[in-house]
Amino acid sequence: MSRIEQLISEIEEYIDSCKFQPLSNTKILVNKEEIEELLVELRLRIPDEIKKYQKIISNQEAILSEARSQADAMVEQATIQTNELVNEHEIMQKAYAQANEVVEQASQQAQTIIDNAIVEANGIRQSAVQYTDDMLKSLQNILNHTLETAQAPFNSFLSAVRSSYDIVTSNRGELASGIIEPADEQTTEE
């Protein structure tokens, strides 16, 4: 398991361990510092994982180089055999035919090795890209969940403050109708 996968698991465990907001079964309270620490470490680890997969992809050249070396060695060996056969005058025609056949087989084997190496390297590259995309998708889901989780308590708090404000405004309106102005008191006493 890579460190990125461990961090994602830790973030999920942390979210699962958070307490629910009072009177809610879906909204949780998150310690901002703890979640930010985990996210910072995750951001720092992603480049390391990408370098790891780039190194795997760079091995593609080594595989291709080895395949080319093997192919060149086979062609060279076939050429040597051809030269030896050609030097023997009695079997010159047979040697030439065999040499061409060996060269053809060597070329086909070399091409097969190169083709297999390219397919394998492309598969490794595709797997690395897919894995990185999966990790980023998981991180995106966690960040989205964190944003949604943080937004709900804020909206709830804002709604509560708005409600309190409306009550205070209403109460002041009710009190204002009962306040007697000083000029009104003199008129009432006379």
List the domain boundaries for the chain.
3-160
Q: Which of 107, 125, 30, 114 is nearest to 66 (CA)?
A: 114
Residue 148, pLDDT score: 79
User: Strand pairing partners for 28?
Assistant: 20
What CA–CA distance (Å, rounded) separates 5 from 61? Answer: 29
Residue 23, pLDDT score: 87
Residues 6 or more apart whose CB falls under 8 angstroms from that of 122 comprise 60
Q: Which two tokens stand for residue 132?
A: 């990185």
Q: How far is CA 78 from CA 1, 66, 89, 92, 111, in A?
A: 47, 18, 18, 15, 15
Residue 162, pLDDT score: 92
Rg of the chain over all Cα atoms, to the nearest angstrom: 39
What CA–CA distance (Å, rounded) separates 63 from 182? Answer: 99
How crowded is the C-beta side of 124, counted as CA atoms within 13 Å?
16
Residue 186, pLDDT score: 57
Residue 182, pLDDT score: 63
Task: Kindly tell me the burial class for residue 98, based on how many C-beta atoms sit within 10 Å of its own C-beta (0-12, 13-18, 19 or more).
Answer: middle
Taking 50 as the pLDDT cut, the residues of the chain under it are none
Model pTM score:
0.36
Residue 166, pLDDT score: 92
Q: Which two tokens stand for residue 160?
A: 């509560």
